[in-house]
Amino acid sequence: MVIGAGVVGAACAYYASLAGLSVAVVDRGPVAGGTTGAGEGNLLVSDKEPGPELDLALLSAGLWRELAGELGEQTEYEPKGGLVVASDEAGLDALRAFAAHQGTAGVESVEIPGARLHELEPHLAPGLAGGFHYPQDAQVQPALAAAHLLRAARVAGAEVYLGEAVTAVRTGPDGAILGVTTDRRRIDTPAVVNAAGTWGGEVAGLAGVPLPVLPRRGFVLVTEPLPRIVRHKVYAADYVADVASGSAALQTSAVVEGTPAGPVLIGASRERVGFDRTLSVEVLRRLAAQAAQLFPVLADVSVQRAYRGFRPYLPDHLPAIGADPRVPGLYHACGHEGAGIGLAPATGLLISRQLTGKQPELDLTPFRADRFAAS
């Protein structure tokens, strides 16, 4: 059974159901009521350096392409590509080195000289030094993607219980999983998948093991509907450093993207302030100013709304994926921080491989939940 009906839990349920397993999903709220409904839908390889997270992202990029065909147009999947820009030569040199390193791991990118940036993005600010186009970057509507993954899992036989909190994870005398108890029922099962996102540490705690998942807050600005003035996912070179930073302090580096419905999304900030939901005008102002620096045309556009969410952050920025050696039958699929939409299909597939005793496509050692035990 899967705890959590966000995009990660939905992907786990989808692949496990298709593998022929009998699956139940429990969420205390609605589908995508956690961070999945409060983020953007960037499916990025461009912001990741070679390593386990990029391997996951590349596997996922291919799976999202397949899913787009299987789940239908409603997920708003767009293989639009990313464009990372640098304002000066030093920034462009850094991008060049980063892209060359990524190329060794299978990331495709093409350098775009400053004079040609407007062929890709006609409304981009003049005078930028240049950038890199990443054709493997894509976009999806996260809440719709989660809902359609779950719908497909249900068609394959999965049961979904919403508005029902898991209050206990039951284990036997040998420590192995026996099932869970919710505020409405008892589910007996030999396997529990912890896909509780930012609350993954609490669920691990119910099973008696620590997992240090913390919230990392982010705001997103949503403009009024506009014609397609932003064609790719566009961001400045600083974004990569912000994503990789472990600092609790506020970081903003705008990622700008158009949507099929018209509004432009401007995300996102990063800060560790617990679950504080207070609206921060300062953060919104910084995001808006950075977006207008990239696309001056946005300076005169109205913002329709802003929302915030809490990324599930683990101290080394890698998710916890796979069997927990401390509790037989407990599997983790949480802690994906700012990349959970992108990484969901690979996570679901790898979990289903372990559940069915098959060899996973990737080595799961870097994602083991007990890697924090000594700290």
Are 45 and 109 a contacting pair, CB within 8 Å? Answer: no
CA 203 → CA 170, 190, 285, 304, 373, distances in Å? 12, 16, 36, 36, 16
Phi, psi of 275, deg, nearest 5: -95, 35
* Cβ-based nearer residue to ligand FAD, 92 or 310: 310
CB of 34 to ligand FAD, least distance (A): 2
Q: Which two tokens stand for residue 47?
A: 């912001």
* Cβ-based nearer residue to ligand FAD, 91 or 335: 335
The verdict on whether omega for the bond into residue 292 sits within 30 degrees of 0, i.e. cis, is no
What are the contacts of 160-163 at 24+ separation with CB within 8 A? 160/5, 160/13, 160/24, 160/25, 160/27, 160/31, 161/24, 161/25, 161/26, 161/27, 161/185, 162/5, 162/27, 162/29, 162/30, 162/31, 163/27, 163/28, 163/29, 163/30
DSSP 78: B
Q: DSSP secondary structure string, 294-344?
A: H-GGGGGSPEEEEEEEEEEE-TTS--EEEE-TTSTTEEEEE--GGGHHHHH
CB of 62 to ligand FAD, least distance (A): 15
Q: Which helix (H) or strand (E) holds 27?
A: strand 24-27
CB of 113 to ligand FAD, least distance (A): 27
CB of 282 to ligand FAD, least distance (A): 16
CB of 88 to ligand FAD, least distance (A): 26
| Spatial separation of the C-alpha atoms in residues 308 and 18, rounded to whole Å | 33
CB of 129 to ligand FAD, least distance (A): 25
* Cβ-based nearer residue to ligand FAD, 28 or 232: 28
* Cβ-based nearer residue to ligand FAD, 274 or 357: 274
* Cβ-based nearer residue to ligand FAD, 44 or 237: 44
Q: Which residues of this chain interact with ligand FAD, rule CB under 6 A?
A: 3-9, 26-29, 33-36, 38-42, 165-166, 195-199, 203, 218, 220, 267-268, 309, 311-312, 334, 336-342
* Cβ-based nearer residue to ligand FAD, 116 or 285: 285
* Cβ-based nearer residue to ligand FAD, 322 or 340: 340
CB of 161 to ligand FAD, least distance (A): 9
CB of 203 to ligand FAD, least distance (A): 6
> Which amino acid belongs to residue 32?
A
Q: Which helix (H) or strand (E) holds 291?
A: helix 281-294
* Cβ-based nearer residue to ligand FAD, 102 or 194: 194
